[in-house]
């Protein structure tokens, strides 16, 4: 389970960004499109796994669907490492990157922190939700790869509850509360759901303007639909896992694949005929139980070499 604070979660915000230099201009790709998430490089074991992530060909792209780490410098170092190896890296933030962690010298909060992460990615040549959506033209393409930053709004409520307040009370009573509630600040928004709704509205406008002739690969740290949370051991945690406002996006926005993480339950499912890929590595105690060497990189499109 991702970051449950002794049997407690955070947020992000939108503004008008200029596109990064060259964003969306990468054509003629012949490799594969891979994805991974929840690398959590604060763990030495996970850093070893990341050290082993390698492309199969010089044209391979890598989607990193959030939760690289909590400390700004760790996120920068890891994305630089991956950008040096892959032809293109596409990143979306998870809740952990948005934390203002007491061990992090970078004390920015909320949107200011997200802005700084976007700026850092642009310096590295890593694409973000604020850049033009690139088009994958390898096997399985062309498709528009759409990195999204949407957050959550507590609408995946705890069983038997009908409001945010009631759902949160149930989570606290059960001792299952996301650490975001302590470390993820919505500044300057009044709350996380306001930030989420702003992100959803702005992102929907951008998706509506994408080439209608192309299918999409929708990439978000949190699942776009609630169904993947049905297998959580602690159902109260679902309220920190997405928003009902994206429940039909995989249909309305022509998704060939939807990529997400956050749940630390790597698997392939299908909803309304659309493939959903949860691509988490997770914490060492989790992937260690699966046995064997962890191979977190999931092939999204493109054939084996």
Residue 127, C-beta contacts closer than 8 angstroms, at least 6 positions apart: 20, 23, 88, 89, 90, 91, 121, 134, 147
* CATH T-level assignment (fold) for domain 33-301: Purple Acid Phosphatase; chain A, domain 2 (3.60.21)
pLDDT at 181 over 80: yes
63 vs 303, more confident: 63
Are the CB atoms for 75 and 42 separated by under 8 Å? no
CA 185 to CA 247: how far, in whole Å?
Answer: 25
pTM: 0.90
Domain borders along the chain are 33-301
- Can you tell me the mean pLDDT for 247-257? 98
The pair of structure tokens assigned to 259 is 């990529």
What's the pLDDT at 304?
64
pLDDT at 28 over 60: no
What's the pLDDT at 4?
39
Q: Cβ–Cβ contacts within 10 Å for residue 295, how many?
A: 14
Residue 53, C-beta contacts closer than 8 angstroms, at least 6 positions apart: 36, 62, 82, 85, 296, 297
pLDDT at 5 over 60: no
What's the pLDDT at 25?
38
The pair of structure tokens assigned to 158 is 């705890």
Average model confidence (pLDDT) for the chain? Answer: 91
CA 179 to CA 171: how far, in whole Å?
Answer: 12
What's the pLDDT at 261?
98
CA 1 to CA 265: how far, in whole Å?
Answer: 8
Of all residues in the chain, the percent with pLDDT exceeding 70 is 90
Are the CB atoms for 298 and 266 separated by under 8 Å? yes
């Amino acid at each position: 389970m991702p970051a449950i604070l002794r049997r407690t979660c955070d947020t992000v915000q939108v503004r008008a960004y200029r596109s990064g230099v060259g964003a969306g201009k990468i054509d003629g790709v012949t490799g594969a499109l891979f994805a991974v998430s929840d690398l959590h490089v604060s763990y030495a074991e996970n850093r070893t796994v990341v050290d082993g992530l390698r492309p199969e060909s010089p044209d391979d792209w890598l989607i990193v669907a959030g939760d690289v780490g909590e400390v700004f410098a760790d996120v920068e170092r890891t994305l630089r490492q991956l950008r040096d190896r892959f032809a293109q890296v596409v990143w979306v933030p998870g809740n952990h990157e948005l934390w203002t962690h007491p061990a992090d010298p970078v004390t920015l909060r909320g949107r200011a922190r997200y802005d700084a992460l976007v700026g850092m990615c642009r310096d590295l040549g890593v694409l973000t939700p604020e850049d033009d959506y690139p088009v994958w033209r390898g096997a399985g393409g062309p498709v528009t790869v759409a990195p999204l930053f949407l957050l959550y709004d507590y609408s995946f409520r705890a069983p038997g509850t009908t409001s945010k307040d009631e759902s949160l009370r149930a989570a606290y009573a059960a001792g299952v509360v996301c650490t975001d509630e302590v470390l993820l600040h919505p500044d300057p928004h009044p709350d996380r759901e306001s930030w989420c709704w702003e992100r959803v509205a702005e992102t929907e406008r951008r998706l509506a303007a994408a080439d209608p002739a192309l299918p999409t690969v929708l990439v978000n740290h949190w699942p776009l639909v609630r169904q993947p949370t049905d297998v959580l051991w602690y159902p109260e945690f679902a309220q920190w896992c997405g928003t009902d406002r994206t429940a039909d996006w995989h249909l309305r926005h022509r998704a060939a694949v939807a990529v997400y993480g956050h749940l630390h339950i790597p698997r392939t499912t299908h909803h309304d005929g659309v493939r959903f890929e949860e691509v988490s590595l997770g914490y060492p105690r989790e992937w260690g139980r699966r046995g064997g060497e962890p191979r977190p990189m999931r092939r999204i499109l493109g054939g084996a070499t």
